[in-house]
Chain A
Amino acid sequence: MNFAIELILSLLLLLGGSLILIGSLGLIRLPDVYTRLHAPTKATTLGMGAILIASMLFTLFDQGSLSVQQLLITLFLFISAPLTGHLLAKTAMHQRLKQIDKTKNAELIEVARDREAPNHSSD
């Protein structure tokens, strides 16, 4: 493995590690549950993407083949992160957790909580 590939791999790995660390720091430091949802669903997912790209490049240059598993993990993480964030935000609204005072459009939480499932039987 030559110098340029090692440099690219190291930069991607350090970027991924820093983003994962930032995501976990945001989980501790941010004030309420709705802002805490931002850190792991965005920063950590991007960091995992960088680490998975580095892992794929390493497998490509070390063993000469591209494995399907890493691509599947990337796809699965990138699909499941927004779904998890949406489900957790809905759960937090239904548990009536307090938001911080600076939240804009806080009165819309009541509307979103009381909204019922769409009724398809009347069509």
Chain B
Amino acid sequence: MLEISLKIVLVMISIALIMNTYSLVRGPSLPERILSLDTLYINSIGLILIYGIVQASSINFEAALLIAMLGFVSTAALCKYLLRGDIIE
């Protein structure tokens, strides 16, 4: 039962990633593109976690932690650049 639900969830997250890529290309404004990138990295963390359950290993969690930290920093830096025209004032 766990194998079947893992496959279903992998397909669901893949469809969500395709939707995010479509939203990233469509736009139309810059904050919406940043929001799509933000959702894209959060969903990819989910994909890595599910893959970790499939493999029954805990090596992937450190990659997920790195993506979570760097993704938030990059989103904050992009928003700050759009708000003030400068990142570190």
**Which chain A residues have a beta carbon within 8 Å of chain B's beta carbons?**
1, 3, 6-7, 9-10, 13-14, 16-18, 20-21, 23-25, 27-28, 33, 36-37, 40, 44-45, 47-48, 51-52, 54-55, 58-59, 62-63, 67, 69-70, 72-73, 76-77, 80, 83-84, 87-88, 90-92, 94-95, 97
Instruction: Report which of A14, A18, A24, A62 forms a contact with B39, defined as CB distance below 8 A.
Output: A24
Q: B2 — nearest CB in chain A belongs to which residue? A: A6
The distance in angstroms between the C-alpha atoms of A52 and B65, with both chains bound, is: 12
Q: A9 — nearest CB in chain B belongs to which residue? A: B2
A interface secondary structure, majority:
helix
The distance in angstroms between the C-alpha atoms of A21 and B58, with both chains bound, is: 25
A-B residue pairs in contact (CB < 8 Å), sample of 5: A14-B5, A20-B46, A47-B46, A88-B79, A91-B82
A13 touches B9 (CB 8 A): yes
Q: B29 — nearest CB in chain A belongs to which residue? A: A97
B interface secondary structure, majority:
helix
Question: Total contacts A to B, CB within 8 angstroms?
Answer: 152
Q: Which residues of A contact B79 (CB under 8 A)?
A: 84, 87-88, 90-91
A4 → chain B, closest Cβ, in Å? 11
Given contacts A77-B42, A80-B68, A92-B31, 7 further A-B contacts (CB under 8 A): A20-B43, A20-B46, A24-B16, A33-B35, A48-B46, A76-B65, A84-B79
B16 touches A20 (CB 8 A): yes
* A6-B2, A55-B52, A69-B61 known; A17 vs B42 contact (CB < 8 Å): no
A43 → chain B, closest Cβ, in Å? 10
Q: B26 — nearest CB in chain A belongs to which residue? A: A28
Q: Which residues of B contact A10 (CB under 8 A)?
A: 1-2, 4-5
The distance in angstroms between the C-alpha atoms of A59 and B72, with both chains bound, is: 26
Top 10 A-B pairs ranked by shortest CB distance? A17-B9, A24-B16, A17-B12, A10-B5, A69-B61, A87-B79, A80-B72, A40-B39, A24-B19, A92-B31
